[in-house]
Amino acid sequence: MFSSVLIANRGEIACRIARTAKRLGLRTIAVYSEADAGALHVRLCDEAHGIGAPPARESYLVIERLIEVALRARADCVHPGYGFLSENAEFAEACARAGVTFVGPPPTAIRAMGLKDRAKALMQKAGVPVVPGYHGERQQPAFLKEKAYEIGYPVLIKAVAGGGGKGMRRVSKHAEFDDALEAAQREAQNAFGDARVLIEKYVTAPRHIEMQVFADTHGNAIHLNERDCSLQRRHQKVIEEAPAPGMPPELRAAMGAAAVQAAKAVGYAGAGTVEFIADGAKGLRLDGFWFMEMNTRLQVEHPVTEAITGLDLVEWQFRVAAGEKLPLTQDQVALAGHAVEARIYAEDPERGFLPSTGRLVALDLPAGEGIRVDTGVEPGSEITPYYDPMIAKVIAHAPTRSAALDLLAAALERTVAAGPRTNVAFLAKLCRADGFRAGDFDTGFIERNAAALGATPQGLDQGAAALGAARLLAQDTARIAQRLDGAPDEPPSPWDATDGFQLSGSRSVEFPILVDGEAVRAQARFGPIGPNVTVDGITPDASARAIETVDAIYVLRHGRQTTVRRADTSIGALDHGGSDGRITAPMHGRLLALLVQKGDKVEKGQRVAVIEAMKMEHALTAQRAGIVTDVTAAAGSQVAEGAKLLTIEPLA
């Protein structure tokens, strides 16, 4: 076994690797960018080294710098985690040249499976069923469009490199293909440095099922059962579970055998995931699954496999990399109970799941029997625009699927995360959704049920707003009392009164507040026992939780966050754009493209700009028809949330 490890990653996965490494007695070495200098993973490790500026391409993706740190820190091995350089053959080769063991598969296996087109060709040769489509080298747009027509719509455009739903577009009509291809290629180039794509037939009721495989350097390979990752949004996994609902034992055996065959075909070693698409229209069956791709690394969702097997997959990674044989044979692999994982992200389900940035002013993650939480942040941590906005993974394990979903839903409902917006309320509703619980779901479930899951604008929560307004009023009252106590020589003023006395009737006031950036008026009626605050006649919700900061009250109600601030009308804080024709940045990020210029005529709903944040593209559209009169940002520049990009004046 090794004596030390450099963890070439950050956040939740770096913390998770460090825990196992420490249990095994390894000295842990962290790396960090300037944005992560105070991060949790830095403090968890025995030592830490800075590697550059916040953008990943200037720090976590700089191979030479990581190798330099590994040598300077005398690391025996490098664990890449997932993402970043985990599936980079050049990084694995650089480790080998430096005499440092790469905790992962050999570079040949990474190359064989790292490009989806080559992986599919290899699987076809090995006899593994593959989704019908075009996986060749030709990339001319007209040719790809012709192939899509031959395959038959709907089709899926997929980046040849990478994963995580980036560079992927579903196309339902021939007329939509050109725009979808351009967007997929641009996103793939930005995310992976490779714009090439393949075209696949889109399975109309797809279930995304993956097999966890493990192989050693002695010729042994097994699978550790399957995971169902069908609950997705924009091809990104939201909730994962093991085992897959409705999985017949004979299909598990067949799919597992195909996965092991795929691993052996590339001379695999270490942890890997073979991903299949299954046609769920008529239930899971032997003749209805196809190979999609292989991820040559640990997966985000590996904890559900650990829960049902009782294994530590990171420990297995270390042992295999150190030359040991697999600890178990196939018939010794357990499958106990059911596990479900939910990914808590800093994002806003009501605004198309836009990433949300900022400081975590409060964070209280669940605990208890059957609950596991993996996180890389803590109260006070900053969610930046530079990296994936994951806050935590919450995993529930119970004897049955229904019990596991109940346990997870309850855990999410008692989770407190304030500051950036989160998807906690959305996840809890998803766990309790009837169709999902009945096993009647596929990868389109979230899109079809967005409104019921709270993934559409919900409007003003008056009870939460009233609670925030009441807390603001209480703060103001306390400040007045403190000021009066501190100025004994100052004559009292009747305007400083904080009781309910008035010469005629009870005293009432109306005062402006900002609720999630929108102007709202709260009412306060003063009585003998203090003020009664309402918003639209609704009193504060006593069941909600309020977190007070110096500039805002964050109110959490059923997992949904309402932010209440004082309205400073003197500086025009009540005017938040939109109706005046301004197009503003909805989040921190990079202005990838400006699709219009000054003097252009635009139609309502027309795309005018594209922002890249959290490694995804987000299109901005005109809210009205008009003429572009002012452009205040340049393509390629970093923009802050709320920054004005351009102005559209109405047509005369």
Pick the CATH number of 462-486+495-571 from 3.40.1350, 3.30.700, 2.60.120, 1.10.10: 3.30.700
- Quick: pLDDT tens for 14-37: 999 999 999 999 999 999 999 999
3-state secondary structure of 315: helix
Same fold, 207-336 and 337-458: yes
SS3 letters across 221-289: EEEEEEEEEEEEECCEEEEEEECCCCCCHHHHHHHHHHHHHHHHHCCCCEEEEEEEEEECCCCCCCCCE
Whether the predicted pLDDT of 82 surpasses 70: yes
CATH code linked to domain 4-103: 3.40.50.20
| Catalytic site positions | 297
Rounded mean pLDDT of the chain?
Answer: 90
- Quick: pLDDT tens for 161-195: 877 678 999 999 999 999 999 999 999 998 888 99
Q: Tell me the fold of 337-458.
A: D-amino Acid Aminotransferase; Chain A, domain 1 (3.30.470)
**Mean pLDDT over residues 425-433, rounded?**
97
- Quick: pLDDT tens for 377-409: 999 999 999 999 999 999 999 999 999 999 999
Lowest model confidence (mean pLDDT) among 203-212, 291-300, 578-587, 594-603:
578-587
Q: For the chain, which residues make up each domain, given as ranges?
A: 4-103, 132-201, 207-336, 337-458, 462-486+495-571, 582-649
Report the CATH architecture of 207-336: 2-Layer Sandwich (3.30)
Sign of CA dihedral 610, 615, 616, 618: negative
Report the CATH architecture of 582-649: Beta Barrel (2.40)
- Quick: pLDDT tens for 498-550: 554 454 455 678 888 999 988 899 999 988 777 899 999 999 999 999 999 88
Percent of the chain's residues with pLDDT above 70: 93
pLDDT band for position 570 (cuts 50, 70, 90)? very low
pLDDT band for position 646 (cuts 50, 70, 90)? very high
Q: Check: CB of residue 272 under 8 Å from CB of residue 295.
A: yes
Q: Tell me the fold of 132-201.
A: Dna Ligase; domain 1 (3.30.1490)
- Quick: pLDDT tens for 193-232: 899 999 998 888 899 999 999 999 999 999 999 999 999 9
Give buried/exposed letters for 6-37 (b at 16+ CB in 10 A, else e): bbbbbbbbbbbbbebbeebebbbbbbbbebbe
**Mean pLDDT over residues 314-337, rounded?**
98
